[in-house]
Structure 1
């Protein structure tokens, strides 16, 4: 079995990431990278790469070129990396390309594959030194069930702290079991909130997660 590890981490407002800053300034979510190409001199390091991405805006932002091309409601932007301060370039210095990322409200969620636990430790040590506001959201090791197409990215960062607390409490109490380990009234009392507030947060949390699982728009 492969010793590789699939990691999902969230970096809060990473300094040196123009795409994360772009998402905050424009109020858009960037989750589709079109391409990353080497510079004209043929270098393959982070200092010579150019990243293209799509965003549902037509605003012009400093440090990002574009709109370069329009696809109806979305536009193509381009950014040339001139240093290794951004999380993606930092990750690339370990030989790990970004498998998927989501930039939203200035925060960056990265999915990458480490070759083994030692490499993961080295990457996370560097991340924590550079970016204090980092959260490891998920670690997976094979074997994973289902095909690659069936394995979807669930952005837990969509949940508010209260929604996460309510969802965790409901799960721990056996709310989703049959028969239920506890009902809404009991869990709400444990959290010191009303039943209606408990239900409101639980439904909101489930809807956000289902959007990713079912790959639907909000």
Structure 2
């Protein structure tokens, strides 16, 4: 029996997730979202500082410092957490920052991670932020060496700058606009280069997938 993988994704899903949408206007984002399914509805509860004006949902509990809000929506609407759960992956934590959902979950193997990411990318913008062996033990057989040479110089610069500024932190310490400004490029150019770098690194993690795509490209030619 293997330990499986611990995965953390950042998902741009404001139109499908009221918590992600609300986080765009909340400094520091939203931590520790509690989820449940009751009578065919998905319930999310989260806490924000008292006086927050961008919160979504209905206030259900209040203290002198914070207010707990609850959102409700029907099951089957295709939210990211549903899609992850549909692959049999239990979530470990859910939060949101800058209009993006940050969800971590456990997966039995890399093929399952690939299916989850591809399923989400049919609808959402997805960033893979962490992928580690969940049991904390590694061996020669399950260690993957990522070849940074697969990245262009520009891609390495973008990834390193984003990392240095805290773009991959949770809560995120720098927005895409801030990283783009530091690189002196447009936010869309930053996003495009980051996506290309991410794909190159994922190819290292999923070599079978890369080989299959390369064979398809050859057949098309």
Short-chain TM bin: 0.5 to 0.7
1:160-199 correspondence runs (5 A) = none
Equivalent-residue separation in structure 2 for 1:118 and 1:141 (angstroms) = 14
Taking only aligned residues, the RMSD between alpha carbons, in angstroms, comes to 3.3
Greater C-alpha radius of gyration: 1
Shift of 1:18: 0.3
2:101 equivalent in structure 1:
108
Deviation digits for residues 191-210 of structure 1 (CA, Å, limit 9, x no counterpart): 9xxxxxxxxxxxxxxxxxxx
Deviation digits for residues 83-133 of structure 1 (CA, Å, limit 9, x no counterpart): 4332122222223232112211211211111122222111111011110x2
- Tell me which of 92, 99, 105 is aligned to 2:92: 99
Equivalent-residue separation in structure 1 for 2:130 and 2:120 (angstroms) = 15
Task: State yes or no: 1:36 paired with 2:35.
Answer: yes
1:4-19 correspondence runs (5 A) = 4-19=4-19
Asked if the contact 1:6/1:112 (under 8 Å) is kept, the reply is: yes
Asked if the contact 1:10/1:157 (under 8 Å) is kept, the reply is: no
Residues 64 and 12 (structure 1), Cα distance of their counterparts in 2 relative to 1, 3 Å cut: same
Deviation digits for residues 48-73 of structure 1 (CA, Å, limit 9, x no counterpart): 2322111114456686112x111322
1:69 equivalent in structure 2:
61
Residues 117 and 64 (structure 1), Cα distance of their counterparts in 2 relative to 1, 3 Å cut: same
Asked if the contact 1:26/1:59 (under 8 Å) is kept, the reply is: yes
- In structure 2, the residue corresponding to 1:158 is in which secondary structure? coil
TM-score with structure 1 setting the length? 0.57
TM-score with structure 2 setting the length? 0.57
Asked if the contact 2:55/2:69 (under 8 Å) is kept, the reply is: no
- In structure 2, the residue corresponding to 1:95 is in which secondary structure? coil
Task: State yes or no: 1:139 paired with 2:131.
Answer: yes
**Matched length:** 151
Q: Give unpaired runs (5+ residues) of structure 2.
A: 138-167, 184-221
Q: Give unpaired runs (5+ residues) of structure 1.
A: 42-46, 146-152, 166-190, 192-218
- In structure 2, the residue corresponding to 1:130 is in which secondary structure? coil
Equivalent-residue separation in structure 1 for 2:53 and 2:26 (angstroms) = 9
1:174 equivalent in structure 2:
none
